[in-house]
Each structure stands twice: as C-alpha cells, then as structure tokens.
Chain A
C-alpha cells in the first residue's frame, strides 16, 4: 500500500482518531495510559496503534522500560502542503481561527 493510502486508511476510523486526539492533548503516553478511559480492549488499542505507527501518524520512544507514544503530525502536514497553496496558508489559518473563536464563544 502506498504511504498516502496508509495515512487515509488509518484516519478513516473513529477509534484511531480518538487515540490521536488523546495524544494531541497529552503527548508521549504509554499503552496503559492510552487505554485508561477508552471503551476498548487493550488488544484493540494495540491493533489501532500499530496501524497508526505503520502510517507514521504515531511514533514511539523508549524511556527505560516504558514505550511512549507520540502523535507525528508530519504525514498530515505533507497532505496539507499538497493541496493548500503557499500563499493561501495565512488566509486558511485565519479563517480556521475565526471559526474556532466564534464556536467557542457560542459554547460559553
């Protein structure tokens, strides 16, 4: 499978996106920490993490005997670069920030 296909396949699953959300909020977690408040078996989380690693969306670092998982934004950044032109970026970011700010206000 081509690398880009692996990225989209890995992202096309709610449980795997939730794992990425957890790492985005708190980077560098062990398997145990990632399993803590998820309604998934340890085996299922392990399987999802493996697919995320194969897509290079998650990378791991050993600290002593602990295996820590990190979100790796590089494949997503490369997808962004493919379709967002270099002079569009500031406008795209400004619009995304505006949307976020307005939606946060509505929530409050």
Chain B
C-alpha cells in the first residue's frame, strides 16, 4: 500500500463521485487480502497456493432503492465505471420508503487482538511446517491413516467511508487448520475431522488438530444400526454450535419484518426452556468473528438474543432498524444482509459428563447439521456423526439414522446446558440436552 493512496482515500473518492452522480446515500468498502493455503491429501502435501486480491464495493441509495457494484483490483478506470454502475442501478431500482438512512459516525469501539504480526509475517515454509507436523502426529498414532485437509493463513486490511461521514479502517489476521482423518479396519471405515482457528497463532493448537481427528475417526469405527423411537438427544459442542447458530440466524430482523421466519411474532415470548440464554458479542477480544464495527460502520455491541428461553432481541442492520424505528445492533453486512458474530451461550451448572450420565436412552451427536426450515421451523435431519447412548454410557456409533421435529418444540424440551464448553477465540460451545426427540433408525 505504501506507494498507493490508502483504501480510505479510495473509499472517500468513490463516495464523492457517487454523490456527484446523484447518489442520495452511499457507502464504499475497499480492501485487500493475502492468503496462503497448504493442502494435505493422502497424508502428504498435495499443493501450496497463494493469492492476493483487492476489491472495491460501492453501495448507493436513490429514493431508498439500492444499487450495489463490486469490482476486483485497483484499476482506476474499472473503479470509476463501477461507481457509475452502482449509481445507475440505484436509479433503476424501485423506490423504497422503508429505507431511512445509513449509520452516522460513531465513536469506535476498541477490540483488542484482531491482528497478529506473527501471522502477517509467516512464510510458506512455516505454513508447510504446521501441515507436516499434523501429518507426522497422525501417522505416529495410526500409520495407515488417510489424512486430508488444509492449513491456511489470511491477512487483510480494509476501509469504509460513507456519505453520512463514516471513515473507518481495520485490519485482521486469521489462521486455520482443518483436518479430516479416515481410518480403516478391513471393510470398516471410521471418519471424522477437527479444526482450530484464531486470529493469533498463540490462541490455537494448530499442530494437534490431526491427533483429535484420528481419535475421532477411530471412535466412529464399528457403526451399528439402531431402532426407532423417542429418545434423548445430546448435542456435543460442535453440533450445538451449529444448532444455536441457526436460532440466532433466524432472529434476523429482515426475515421477521418480511414475515418469513418461524420466529415471527415471538419477540418478547418464550421460544425455549429457561435453560437457554444466548449472547451475540462481536467485541470479544481476539474473537474470530469480532470487529469494532459492522459492515455498515455501526459500532458493535453485545446483544442478548435469547434470555432464559425468551426471545428478547433481533439482529438489525441500518435498514431494518430504520424500518422498526429502532437502533441498529451492529450486525449489518456491507451488501445489505444481517449476520451473527461470536455466540456466547450462558453455561449451566453441571459438566457435560454428568448430563450424559443421566441419559437413559438417546443419541450423542458429536457433529452434524440440525437444519430447521427457515419458515416452518420443521426439522428432518440426518444423524451424521452420532453415538447411541444407553444408561448413561456412550456405546457405539450410529449408522443411517435420522431425526425429525419442529425446532420450537425441541427448544421447549431443552433441559440442560453444560458448565464446560469447547472454547474457540471469542466463541463458547457447550453441550446441550433435549428430551423426547423422534429418532428413525434402521434396525
């Protein structure tokens, strides 16, 4: 960047040009990312890739109608054309009286630890070394293991400027190792994965990921069919994280204002048992989903979404907040969407081991998507990585089973959240227990 104008200046120039061309409101984000990714296949290195890219995204409103245009690179002519295109599209869009305004400048929050000089200075050789350490650790445990996955780093910087006077700059780093392990015993196959990610190398156990993937794969050897019935469902940390993420994602104000969410009309009402409290906090120090502001320049803040089972807040961007005469909660994306940040469920009084010990008959779901239909809340999902539990003991992995129900029914039967949790930077992943869930097996 040293020999070029700053991203903030690029953004400010684009805003100025868009306003000159007729934009009533405009915000522009610009930035760059540099990535290195090393791919593991067949327990060796397959390829090493690097990429470097910049882009500029221009959002323009004319009478509330939105034109949005994105261009890669830093070619001045391309950027000018893109500004013109965004303005032209906004003029073609249908006026939208529900659009009120873009966010005004706000005092910036301080979020510690979003950038790690160590990651920014990492060489390819260092990234390769982490991948090789994972391969060696896995082979030491299981010489015939078939390991695949990636180790990658990303270093980014960016800026945001708007016609409302917002002028913000940010930068961040990320490092990630995701490893899949396949273990065979004759015709039996055990498969699992693990990952670790963070904004600082020091926050991760990058070289230990393959060991937990291999341990997981071994546990999934010997899968058996189970019978159908109503049982207890225990969601381990990975499964619980996806499940809770779906609920917070459904608390998206746009979906509710538009009348297409199973949470319509539920604000202020009980949607779950008293055991469930979820906070979304985009200001967690070193958090993987943290940032001082959202994609529109609104200062982030912790938001209690579900409290003791009641839906108390929705996630807003500036559009939905304006429509509801409310304040944006700082969950806006630059393209006009709404996205959750770091999820922090409130922990319960007892550890996961105790919660599982009380299960008479059930399924422990280590990982897997329990995806609800966003409108009806109906769930018809596969038990992808589950174990059969009997009299408090996790007995064996489950083959070809499914579960069904409605998410609001399941949430009322949630009767425990563990006191211990998997910790990822900024994120808490506890264990959840839900009673009386319909399981379809093949035995």
Is B truly associated with A? no
